[in-house]
Amino acid sequence: MASTVGHDGGAGLAPAYAAARARLGLVSALFVVAALGWVWSAHLMRGMDEGPWSGLGSIAWFLGIWVVMMAAMMFPSVAPTIALYTRATRSTSPLSPWLFAAGYLLTWTAAGLLAYLVGAGTVALGGDRLAWERAGQEIAAATLVVAAVYELTPLKDVCLSRCRSPLGSILGSWRGGRRGAVSMGMRNGAWCVGCCWALMASLFALGVMSVTWMAVVAGIIAVEKTFPWRRGLTYATAALLLATGILLLVAPDALPGLTIPGGQTMQME
C-alpha cells in the first residue's frame, strides 16, 4: 500500500514539475530575446544618438527599432506576468504565451506610433524654435519634471499595481484561444503603457537613440515593477527625474552620458 501511495504521489507531482520547468524555459527564452534586443538595438543605434529630441527617421525605420527596443526593455520585467498567464491558462499550446507577448508588444507599438506622430507634428509646427539652443533645452527639462509629477499621481499607482500584481487583471478579463491570448497581452500592455509612458517621454527628452539612457530607463521600470517597496520606489524615481530635469536645464554638462546637440557626449563616470 505504501509503495502504491508513493507511486501515485510521484505521478501527481510529475505534471506540476513539467509545468514549472516549461515556465522556467519560457522566462529564460524571454530573457534571451531581450538580450538579443539589446545587442541589436546597440547595433542599429550606433552613431544615431543626437541627444535630446534625436531625429526619429522614417516612420517604418522608427517603428522597427522601437519594437526591438521594447522587447529589450520590457521583456525582463513582464516575463513573470507571462509565466503567470501560462500557469493560469494551463494551455497545451506552446504558442499561447508567445501570442500574449505579441499582444503586449502590439500595444507598445501603437504607443510608439502615437509618440512618432506627436513628435513629427510638433517638429512640423515648431520648426527651428524647438532647437536645443532655443526652446529645446527647456522643453526637455520640463518633460522630465512632468514625468516626475506623474510618478506621484493616483493613475500611476493604479497602473503600477496592475503591472506588479496582474493575477486579478488576467482572471477578470479572461479570453480563451489564440485571439484571446493576443487580446489579454494587449490589455496587460495597456496597463504597462499607463505605468511607463512618462518614463518613455523622459527617454525621448534625454536621447531616444542613446543605449545608455535606454538602459537607465529600463532599469527604473524593472525596479519599480519587481521590488516590494512600491511607494518608496516611485518617490525615489520622482526625485531622480526631478533632479535630472533641473540638471538638464541649469547644467547639462553635469549629466554623464548625455549627448548635447551640437556638442559632445559626457562620459559615464
Is there a contact between 160 and 230 (Cβ–Cβ < 8 Å)?
yes
Grid coordinates standing for 226?
519587481
Grid coordinates given for 189: 500592455
In percent, the amount of the chain with pLDDT more than 90 equals 30
pLDDT at residue number 54: 77
Its pTM stands at 0.81
The more confidently predicted of residues 116 and 121 is: 116
Q: Measured between alpha carbons, how far is 219 from 255 in angstroms, rounded to an integer?
A: 17
Kindly compute the dihedral angle of the four CA atoms of residues 197, 199, 204, 208, in this order, to the nearest 10 degrees. -110
Q: What is the mean pLDDT of residues 16-38?
A: 73
Task: Look at residue 256 in the predicted model and tell me its pLDDT.
Answer: 82
Joined together, the cell numbers standing for residue 184 give: 489579454
When pLDDT is averaged across residues 131-140 and rounded to a whole number, the result is: 84
Query: Taking the domains of the chain in order of start, what are their residue ranges?
Result: 2-254
In this predicted model, what pLDDT tens digit does every residue of 152-196 receive, in sequence order?
999 999 999 888 877 766 776 777 778 888 998 999 899 999 999
CA distance 63 to 208: 12
pLDDT at 3 over 60: no
Greater pLDDT, 146 or 266: 146
Binning pLDDT at 50, 70 and 90, where does residue 199 land? very high
Is the pLDDT at 241 greater than 90, yes or no?
Answer: yes
Mean pLDDT confidence for 134-139: 86
pLDDT recorded at residue 200: 93
pLDDT reported for residue 92: 56
According to the model, what pLDDT value does residue 4 have? 46
Say whether pLDDT at 244 is over 90.
Answer: yes
For residue 88, what pLDDT band results from cuts at 50, 70 and 90?
confident
Percent of residues, the chain, with pLDDT higher than 70: 84
Cα–Cα nearest to 22, from 88, 80, 87: 87
Specify the pLDDT at position 180: 86
Q: pLDDT at position 29, please?
A: 81
Q: Residue 56 has what pLDDT?
A: 81
Q: Residue 259's beta-bridge partner residues?
A: 265
User: Which three cell numbers, joined as nine digits, stand for 89?
Assistant: 491558462
Query: Higher model confidence: residue 88 or residue 224?
Result: 224
In the structure, what pLDDT confidence band is assigned to residue 150 with cuts at 50, 70 and 90? Answer: very high
**Of 70 and 11, which is predicted with more confidence?**
70
- pLDDT above 70: residue 21: no
Contact between 214 and 42 (Cβ < 8 Å): no
